[in-house]
Amino acid sequence: MANTAKTKIKRSVGDHVIDTILIIVMIFLGIIMLYPMWYELVVSISEATQLIKQRGILLWPLGFDTTAYRLVFKYPQLLNGYKNTLIILGLGLAVNISMTCLGAYCLSRTQCKWHRFMTLFVLITMYFSGGLIPLYLTVRGVGLYNTIWSVIIPTAISTYNMIILRSAFSTIPESLVESVFIDGGGHWTVLFNIFIPLSLPAMAVQVLYYGVGHWNSWFNAFIYISDVKKQPVQLVLRKLLITGSNIDMGAETANIPNYEMMAKSMKAAMVIVTTVPILVIYPLLQKYFVGGMMIGSLKE
């Protein structure tokens, strides 16, 4: 047995060649995906006078200048946009997680009345929807237009995320649920004391998916929110990117040399400022991500 355990599997030359090719391909794909972010970082800290002459690929900063970041943080709409985004993120996650947990719990209870019908009814929404115009008319009709709730309520629940959480809930032994009912507990006790604590990896996936969705979302705000003071930071970023060099900073630009050349660096700095927070959060949830996704892929 000992000799058998120490026996190594012999690999052919072809296996090593395939491994080498796969490694090269993955490195190449990694560079392709990482370079855009690296490019924006390099542009944001380069000197505007040198950057304006640069053409093509940029690998290293051209000098070092943090003026773009100082200007961006003084941009009138940035802090207000961040505040709105954090409000949308906080309220949105609360609504998303609550609705998803309740829906997933109901779908995981196979003994409930009309269980098959409700499951089919929910799954249909993954493939068919009313469309953008009916949704817009509905948002206006119920009085949500130009409010923070217009970007929260229409996206209150994702069918895909609910199915993942439902699969996680379905893996919990039924004996635990029965023991709660025997002790006099109810469905709320089962959900909050049994299902949610035992499904933390899947819950972390929900937080990550919904959180990234709210943080990156600008289209819904573009359609439903016309008040500049209520718009999230991603919509502010979009406006800044398409404004070009006509960036109104008021009196802040009076004593800044080569201000017109700073537009490119400012846009890159804005991209970094609005992207870094979500990149910092991801490593904290990454250890739960694979486990939560694997749970969602299991069949009953």
Per-residue pLDDT at 231 exceeds 70? yes
Most confident of 17-31, 106-120, 174-188, 277-291: 17-31
Per-residue confidence (pLDDT) for residue 23, from 0 to 100 = 93
Q: Which of 36-45, 85-94, 137-146 is predicted with the least confidence, judged by mean pLDDT? A: 36-45
| Number of other residues whose CB lies within 10 A of the CB of residue 243 | 13
Share of the chain above pLDDT 70, in %: 85
CATH number of 69-300: 1.10.3720.10
With helix as H, strand as E and coil as C, how does 235-263 read?
HHHHHHHHHCCCCCCHHHHCCCCCHHHHH
- Please compute the mean of the pLDDT values over residues 32-52 and round it to a whole number: 83
Per-residue confidence (pLDDT) for residue 203, from 0 to 100 = 86
The model's pLDDT over 241-279, given as tens digits with 9 standing for 90+, comes to 776 545 555 555 545 555 556 777 778 888 888 888 877
Q: 71: Cβ–Cβ under 8 A, 6 or more apart, which residues?
A: 249, 252, 253, 256, 262, 266, 269
- Please give the Cα distance from 28 to 17 (Å, whole number): 17
- Please compute the mean of the pLDDT values over residues 110-135 and round it to a whole number: 83
**Of 51 and 3, more confident:** 51
Q: Please give the structure tokens belonging to residue 5.
A: 């355990």
Torsion of CA 10, 13, 16, 20, to 10 degrees: 180
The pLDDT-based confidence of 173 (bands split at 50, 70, 90) is confident
133-138 contacts at long range (C-beta below 8 A, 24 or more positions apart): 136/223, 136/224
- Please give the Cα distance from 223 to 211 (Å, whole number): 20
**Of 225 and 63, more confident:** 225
The model's pLDDT over 65-78, given as tens digits with 9 standing for 90+, comes to 887 788 778 777 78
Q: Are 85 and 232 in contact (CB under 8 A)?
A: yes
The model's pLDDT over 85-98, given as tens digits with 9 standing for 90+, comes to 999 999 999 999 99
- Please give the Cα distance from 46 to 60 (Å, whole number): 9
Per-residue pLDDT at 170 exceeds 50? yes
Query: 43: closest CA among 64, 16, 12?
Result: 64
Query: 161: closest CA among 296, 281, 298?
Result: 296
Q: What is the pTM of this model?
A: 0.76
What rounded mean pLDDT belongs to the chain?
A: 80
The pLDDT-based confidence of 299 (bands split at 50, 70, 90) is very low
Per-residue confidence (pLDDT) for residue 125, from 0 to 100 = 83
Query: 108: closest CA among 179, 174, 46?
Result: 174
Q: Which of 34-48, 189-203, 255-269 is predicted with the least confidence, judged by mean pLDDT? A: 255-269
Number of H helices, E strands in the chain: 14, 0
Per-residue pLDDT at 177 exceeds 80? yes
